[in-house]
């Protein structure tokens, strides 16, 4: 790629282009990034430079100077950043890394960035974390002074578009995580979950995540039962809610709990149909939902055949999550239209911003020319006797003509569909009219 003008670029790798092991190598935390980015910007003469570094992506976005070999420049900058940061070269060759990188320029880069900020390019479509990470990246670049007006504006517009995508489409309305899908299903059976008691069997990571979701519903009770009661107690302490029990107390707990979520690492079944049936009899027909999110399963599948017991395992919940994902995917199609609109608006702003100084020079030239010609005309013999009001009218007429010419020119020049190269046009206008103004001012 050879370019004669500066170019907006985005170079990086994400969960679709690079495996986890490579993404781990590419990840750079905030502080080293704060030290390295200004050096790279300086060394490669980038006008602006921002890095987005998360567990799922590493992307450099910036404005590169005019160069005959843009790709080589960008890859060199990318690798230098990573070689300075860590010993990536000993683990993987630059050639291999390069195969996992994507490079977008101009409108494609802008579109990619808008999709990233709006979570359309995320591993979990519609998740909100990336928007925060994007904000952090812009904040870091502002702090270390590697961002300029163009990328700052681009960042603001990308975040505004992300907000529109979140509020005007259904992209974030349906959950796609298993724990959350389990609770969504529970609310389908129980409606308002705050009136109900939860029993969590197991005190591992899955239980912890589920418990955090549950606390949002402000339930009546949360019972946490675990083989080792100490782990259950520590989870209760961490959440600051609920009661801890040993597994031997499950039969009693089952009569009180409306929603049971089991996620132990036990190799065999924790709950059999007989225990659940006995509890059900004591519950006097009140429905009970059993959510088995363990692998291998904790709850006997025969429990699902009992009246008023609704058993769902991880496959069923994945079905809910997948259905929700499908809804998000449909919403993403709507979001793409919002993003296209955002990209167009940014391009229009960028074009205006690029040619603004040139248009100002053109306007100055016109004002100078009109003022000079008017003075020349008014100094002639047959205009000397004009009344002040007539002079003012003539002046207003000339000013109006100048304004009209300048406004028409600005409209045509900033119109993206007019097909002008904004940067070249700006250069030409500046060269033509700035010199002209200077020349006329000082003919000597």
Partner 1 sequence: MTPEHISSNVALLGYAFAALLYLVGVGKTRRTIGTGNVALAVFTAATLAASYTVISQLQSEQPTMLSGLLLAVAISWLAILGHVKFKLKLIGAFVAPLATLIVLMQFFVTPGHPIATDGTGSSLLLTLHVTMAILGQAFAILACAVSVFYLWQQNLLKKKLLSQLPQNLPAIDRIDKLLRLCLWTGYVFITLGLLSGAIYTQLYAPPSSWMLSAKVVWATVVWLWYLATLLAQNIFNRPSKRIAQMCLAGFLLMALSYFGMGFFLTGGP
Which CB atom, from 87 or from 307, has the smaller least distance to partner 1?
307
With beta carbons less than 8 A apart as the criterion, state whether 9 and 78 touch: no
**Alpha-carbon distance 226 to 259, whole Å?**
16
Size of the site for partner 1 (CB under 8 A): 20
Residue 185 found at the interface with partner 1 (CB under 8 A): yes
**Alpha-carbon distance 159 to 248, whole Å?**
52
CB of 329 to partner 1, least distance (A): 15
CB atoms closer than 10 angstroms to residue 194: 11
Q: For the residues of 223-265, what is the DSSP string, one character each?
A: EEEESSHHHHHHHHHHHT-SEEEEGGGHHHHHHH-SEEEE---
Which CB atom, from 218 or from 341, has the smaller least distance to partner 1?
218
CB of 181 to partner 1, least distance (A): 10
Residue 189 found at the interface with partner 1 (CB under 8 A): yes
259: nearest Cα among 325, 331, 332, 185: 185
Write a three-state SS string for 355-413.
HHHHHHHHHHHHHHHHHHHHHHHHCCHHHCCCCHHHHHHHHHHHHHHHHHHHHHHHHHH
66: nearest Cα among 49, 38, 46, 51: 46
**Interface with partner 1 by CB under 8 A: which range of 144-152, 266-274, 280-288, 345-353?**
280-288
| DSSP designation for 65 | P
User: Binding residue for partner 1 (CB under 8 A) from 43, 89, 188, 341?
Assistant: 188
CB of 188 to partner 1, least distance (A): 6
Which CB atom, from 70 or from 214, has the smaller least distance to partner 1?
214
CB of 282 to partner 1, least distance (A): 9
User: Binding residue for partner 1 (CB under 8 A) from 19, 145, 149, 191?
Assistant: 191
User: Binding residue for partner 1 (CB under 8 A) from 194, 281, 390, 393?
Assistant: 281
**Interface with partner 1 by CB under 8 A: which range of 46-54, 114-122, 185-193, 384-392?**
185-193
Which CB atom, from 191 or from 246, has the smaller least distance to partner 1?
191
CB of 313 to partner 1, least distance (A): 9
Which CB atom, from 319 or from 424, has the smaller least distance to partner 1?
319
**Alpha-carbon distance 51 to 315, whole Å?**
38
143: nearest Cα among 37, 43, 26, 47: 37
The DSSP bridge partners found for residue 200 are 224, 261
CB of 287 to partner 1, least distance (A): 5
Interacting residues with partner 1 between 15 and 44 (CB under 8 A):
none
Interacting residues with partner 1 between 300 and 339 (CB under 8 A):
304, 307-308, 310, 312, 316, 319-320, 323
**Alpha-carbon distance 306 to 328, whole Å?**
34
CB of 81 to partner 1, least distance (A): 47
Which CB atom, from 91 or from 286, has the smaller least distance to partner 1?
286
Which CB atom, from 306 or from 405, has the smaller least distance to partner 1?
306
| DSSP designation for 414 | H
User: Binding residue for partner 1 (CB under 8 A) from 133, 187, 197, 399?
Assistant: 187
Alpha helix positions (H), 120-193? 129-144, 149-168, 178-190
Query: 103 by DSSP, 3-state: which?
Result: strand
Q: Indicate which residues carry an active-site annotation.
A: 55
Residues that bind partner 1 (CB under 8 A): 185, 187-191, 281, 284-287, 304, 307-308, 310, 312, 316, 319-320, 323
């Amino acid at each position: 790629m050879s370019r004669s003008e500066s170019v907006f670029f985005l170079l990086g790798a994400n969960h679709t282009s690079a495996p986890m092991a490579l993404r781990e190598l590419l990840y750079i935390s905030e502080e080293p990034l704060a030290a390295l980015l200004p050096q790279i910007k300086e060394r490669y003469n980038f006008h602006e430079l921002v890095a987005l570094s998360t567990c799922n992506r590493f992307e450099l976005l910036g404005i590169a100077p005019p160069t005959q070999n843009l790709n080589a420049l960008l890859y060199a900058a990318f690798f230098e950043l990573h070689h300075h940061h860590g010993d990536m070269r000993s683990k993987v060759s630059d050639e291999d890394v390069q195969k996992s990188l994507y490079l977008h320029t101009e409108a494609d880069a802008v579109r990619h960035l808008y999709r990233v900020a709006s979570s359309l390019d995320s591993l979990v479509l519609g998740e909100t974390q990336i928007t925060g990470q994007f904000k952090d990246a812009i904040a870091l670049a502002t702090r270390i002074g590697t961002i300029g007006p163009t990328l700052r504006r681009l960042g603001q517009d990308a975040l505004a578009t992300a907000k529109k995508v979140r509020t005007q489409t259904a992209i974030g309305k349906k959950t796609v995580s298993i724990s959350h899908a389990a609770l969504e299903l529970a609310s389908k059976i129980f409606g308002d979950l705050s009136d109900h008691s939860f029993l969590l069997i197991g005190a591992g990571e899955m239980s912890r995540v589920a418990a955090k979701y549950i606390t949002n519903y402000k339930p009546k009770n949360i019972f946490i039962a675990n083989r080792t009661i100490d782990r259950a107690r520590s989870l209760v302490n961490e959440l600051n809610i609920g009661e801890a029990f040993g597994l031997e107390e499950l039969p009693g707990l089952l009569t009180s709990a409306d929603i049971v979520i089991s996620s132990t690492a036990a190799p065999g079944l924790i709950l059999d149909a007989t225990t659940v049936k006995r509890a059900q009899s004591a519950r006097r027909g009140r429905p009970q939902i059993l959510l088995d999110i363990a692998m291998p399963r904790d709850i006997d599948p025969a429990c699902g055949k009992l009246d008023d017991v609704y058993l769902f395992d991880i496959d069923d919940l994945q079905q809910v999550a997948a259905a929700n994902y499908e809804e998000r995917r449909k919403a993403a199609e709507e979001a793409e239209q919002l993003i296209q609109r955002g990209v167009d608006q940014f391009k229009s702003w960028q074009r205006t911003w690029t040619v603004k100084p040139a248009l100002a020079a053109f306007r100055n030239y016109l004002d100078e020319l009109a003022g000079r010609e008017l003075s020349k005309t008014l100094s002639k013999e047959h205009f000397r006797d004009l009344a002040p009001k007539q002079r003012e009218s003539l002046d207003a007429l000339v000013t109006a003509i100048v304004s009209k010419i300048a406004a028409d020119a600005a409209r045509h020049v900033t119109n993206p569909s007019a097909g002008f190269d904004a940067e070249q046009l700006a250069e030409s206008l500046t060269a033509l009219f700035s010199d002209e103004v200077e020349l006329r001012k000082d003919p000597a």
